[in-house]
Amino acid sequence: MSRRMRRKLSDYGKYEEIVDSNSEVTDDRWHKSTFRELDWTFLPDDTVIQLFSYLNYRDRASLSSTCQTFRLLGSSPCLWDSLDLRTYKFDTEAAFSLSTRCKNLQKLRFRGSDSADAIISLRARRLRVISGDLCRDITDATISAIAARHEMLESLQLGPNTCERISSDAIKAIALCCPKLKKLQLSGVREVSADAINALAKKCGHLVEVAFTESDAIDEMALGNLSSLQFLSVAGTRNLKWGSASQIWSKLPKLVGLDVSRTDISLSSIRRLLSSSKNLKVLSALNCTVFEDEVDDDLVYVHKGKILLTVCNDITKAVASLFADTTEYESNVFSTWRKLKISNGNLKDAVLWIEKVLSYSLSRIADNSPKELDPFWLKQGAKLLLHLLQSSEEDVQERAATALATFVVIDDENATIDSRRAEAVMQNGGIQMLLHLAKSCQEGLQSETAKAIANLSVDSKVAKGIAEIGGIAILSDLARSMNRLVAEEAAGGLWNLSVGEEHKGAIAEAGGINALVDLIFKWPSSSDAVLERAAGALANLAADDKCSLEVARAGGVHALVMLATSCKFEGVQEQAARALANLAAHGDSNNNNAVVGQEAGALEALIQLTYSQHEGVRHEAAGALWNLSFDDKNREAIAAAGGIVALVSLAQSCSNCSQGLQERAAGALWGLSVSEDNCLAIGQAGGVAPLISLARSDVADVHETAAGALWNLAFNPANAARIVEDGGVSTLVRLCTQSLSKMARFMAALALAYIFDGRMDEISVVGPSPAGALKNVSSDWAKRVALRNIELFVRSFSDSQTYAIAVTSSAPTALTQVAEAARIPEAGLLRCSAAEIRRFVAMLRNHSSILKACSAFALLQFTMPGGRHAMHHTSLLQFVGAPRVLRAAAAAASAPIETKVFAKIVLRNLEHNHSEAS
């Protein structure tokens, strides 16, 4: 029956009877403005309390602060019988502030030893359940104090992480102070002594469940004294004497479930336990290598009503055999068993315990990810985890989600996952389940499911599936969470989904970009993981032209510069620099390049990052400066901020670093060297020698950027002399003739042409060389070698017969054939200064036939229709009167045939570009 309530509607100044959301409301007066003007303080108290119960503690506090009525209702004892503080900062101060509300607190979850120390300050004497994780540093003293203050405690769980500083003394204190204890789970206690176990047996008569996991030693004989015990786990424990253990434990009168997973138990001990234990129903032995090596295919999973859970058999089928009718539930017993009428209470408890130990064991096995368990994960492990996701126990759901996040990962550092496992999750409906749980109001579950979604989305097929069913919108919403862990995992999911081009637009449409930018402003610089993931996702998104504009509009430039400037975490610095590099990479389509350069502190921060000890940071910072240098103002600002010295230093130090860093260091210097002033400054800062060294690389990308920088530097006569002095001629000759990159060969040829066009003859001194004397910079031998190889380069693009036909006929077809054969597409991206254009024209007018041919070839590249700067170069050539010089070169009887053809093609290009401009 729909419950009715009365609510004051300020629109009408009177009370109206309104049915709740279970009934249809068709009154036209109901619209959004009505709801905005509702006086929520007139809601019934129980309704408000129910609303409070759906909120996390932070939101409860915010709502409670709005008025006195909500403050009183927000303090209702029923809202404070359970606290999950794992995702909050919980210290003594926070405990004191909560203590007035925790009089009736019964269940508490916390994280970390600092939080454990603060539990006493809650003054919650009625606590019955305490659960903590990440308690590596928790001590005996803290455990003893907690036990002494909470004598009504029924359940204490510390794990699954190891508690290295807890000893048997803490267990004895628990036994003495907590006589009502029913469940005790401790992980990583190095030694559990007989005295401690006997204290539990003597003082805790209601103890039904004990788990001493990941221990070095347990007194197995003493465990036989826990006569009330129904469920026992020693998973991951070493050094147990299985002969005596199996004999003693099989005599425990009430033992229903035993977990020996990841131990060295033998086949004979398992047979003894199954055959001798009177009430034992479930024996879990997952990933027990000794047993698995001994077992044969004939071992049945059911032995006189007892089931054995191992990786060797069908676990779902084994659990289903506990019920009278197994045929209906074999495939989904974990999802449907609660619908069955189970008269046996022990059986119900047993299935709950099975869920717990399976989630725990599968999570631990997934952490280690042994390769030999591949068949298990693909055949049934993935399905088991998905069944456990549907558990009614939040702990089980969380561990299942954690295991799903972990078991697909092959190499965490390189973000590599097992696609078969990921797709097994998707094929069994796992993505829908995870996205559904991600909308839970429980932040711990949100965090773990978001982590699983993030890891699974590394696989492109799964990523597509996530996007198709609304996963991007869910992750974008989670990225807005006030809980750092939730936001962190959601940002990681958006980071993975933003790889490639397929989902970038969807992320922007879902508001993901704004959420990511807000994350950077929301969390302090100490939150390295969330900041790295947010910056990484923005870096991927910034690679898309439209998304890069959205990033800038959302304040992303300021946010990223803030990270690059103030954050000290190298991963964050690397992703922030990469994001700025990508934002600056769209110079032709938007103005982000200029915007980044104009952001206060941006250039200085990137320059400083080139000095980082972390190669990835240097790599991305150099790439960002390279991209930014394409803007004229940025280029000069980088130089003014010390960028030349920094990048020369980087080029000098990166000879043993990655090819990517070498390419970007040389590329950034190439970009800066477009300016004549910067050219001179780079030479004076010692930039020539490291660029020559990088030009000797066998990697095309590296020697191509180094050749580009040397080409620009060679335009300055002093730098040309330095190139010869430092042995650069032979390096450029090798590139000119042997590089697989046409672009590198082209720029090496131009550099050699600049060096030997006669300008160096005017220089008498360029400064002392390292040896103390200037080398002969106009060596006839070096010049002859250079010119000969320039000639070979120019002639390599066609044959003499084709050139002859083109010169004789001047037919468009023949000229086009030569032009297309000679065209270097990347050269159309280059922009030459007015001084360089004049130099090419001067070489065409006054120099040797080889340099004339090289000049005409270069002008052909720069004026080809469709080139980025073809119009610019055409204007410059028209301005300096180049058409007349070109016509003379094309008609000169003594000119080489290549010069004539290239000159004719350039003239045709000028006419074409002029008509296009008109």
pLDDT tens track for 444-499: 999 999 999 999 999 999 999 999 999 999 999 999 998 899 999 999 999 999 99
CA distance 324 to 303: 15
Local structure of 302: helix, strand or coil: strand
Q: Which helix (H) or strand (E) holds 553?
A: helix 545-553
- Residue listed under structure tokens 């109001």: 441
Task: Measure the CA–CA gap between 615 and 863, rounded to whole angstroms.
Answer: 39
List beta partners, residue 186.
Answer: 158, 212
319 confidence band (pLDDT: 50, 70, 90): confident
Of 90-94, 367-371, 589-593, minimum mean pLDDT range = 367-371
Per-residue CA distances from 345 to 208, 244, 339, 353, 682 (Å) = 13, 30, 14, 12, 82
Omega before residue 160 within 30° of 0, cis: yes
Averaged pLDDT, 199-227: 96
Strand ranges (E), 298-371: 302-303, 306-309
Termini Cα distance of the chain: 79
Proportion of the chain above pLDDT 90, given as a percent: 65
pLDDT at 620 over 70: yes
On the 0-12 / 13-18 / 19+ scale of CB atoms within 10 A, 253 is: exposed
Six token digits for residue 815: 């000229």
Residue 515 three-state SS:
helix
- Pairing state of beta strands 282-284 and 306-309? parallel
Query: pTM of the predicted model, to two decimals?
Result: 0.86
> What integer is the mean pLDDT of 132-142?
93
| Distance of alpha carbon 59 from alpha carbon 75, whole angstroms | 13
Query: For residue 344, what pLDDT band results from cuts at 50, 70 and 90?
Result: low
Would you say 228 and 255 are in contact if contact means Cβ atoms under 8 Å apart? no
Tokens (6 digits) for 319:
């659990």
Two tokens, residue 244: 């005596």
Q: What is the pLDDT averaged over residues 576-603?
A: 92
Query: Which position has the higher pLDDT, 781 or 908?
Result: 908
Does the pLDDT of residue 242 top 90, yes or no? Answer: yes
Is the dihedral angle over the CA atoms 249, 251, 254, 257 positive or is it negative?
Answer: positive
3-state secondary structure of 900: helix
Exposed, middle or buried by CB within 10 Å (0-12, 13-18, 19+), for 801?
exposed
The pLDDT assigned to 360 comes to 95
Span 496-523, average pLDDT? 95
Give CA angle at 183 (181, 186), nearest 5°: 110
pLDDT higher than 50, residue 27: no
Q: What is the mean pLDDT of the chain?
A: 87
β-pair partners for 217: 191
What are the tens digits of pLDDT across the range 678-732?
999 999 999 999 999 999 999 999 999 999 999 999 999 999 999 999 999 999 9
- For β-strands 209-213 and 183-187, DSSP reports them as parallel
- Angle, nearest 10°, between helix axes 812-822 and 800-809? 140
Helix intervals (H) in 227-332: 242-249, 267-276, 289-294, 315-320
Instruction: State the pLDDT at residue 163.
Output: 92
pLDDT-based confidence at residue 346 (cuts at 50, 70, 90): low
For residue 801, give every residue at least 6 positions away whose Cβ sits within 8 Å of its Cβ, in sequence order, or none.
Answer: none
Q: Which of 470, 468, 483 is closest to 519 using CA atoms?
A: 483
Cα 426 from Cα 861, distance rounded (Å): 52
- How far apart CA 389 and CA 324 sit, in angstroms, is 25
Question: Can you tell me the distance from the alpha carbon of 33 to that of 10, in angstroms, rounded to the nearest whole number?
Answer: 11
Q: Would you state the pLDDT for residue 769?
A: 44
What pLDDT, on the 0 to 100 scale, is given for residue 7?
28
Distance, CA of 659 to CA of 651 (rounded, Å) = 12
**For residue 491, which amino acid is it?**
A
pLDDT the model gives residue 6: 27
Q: Cα separation of 460 and 455, whole Å?
A: 11
Report pLDDT for 297.
60
Q: Give yes or no for a contact between 182 and 157, defined as CB atoms under 8 angstroms apart.
A: no
> Quick check: 303 pLDDT over 70?
no
How many Å is the Cα radius of gyration of the chain? Answer: 37
- For the ranges 158-172, 212-226, 328-342, 761-775, the lowest mean pLDDT is seen at 761-775
DSSP states along 47-99: HHHHHHHTS-HHHHHHHHTT-HHHHHHHT-GGGGSEEE-TTS---HHHHHHHG
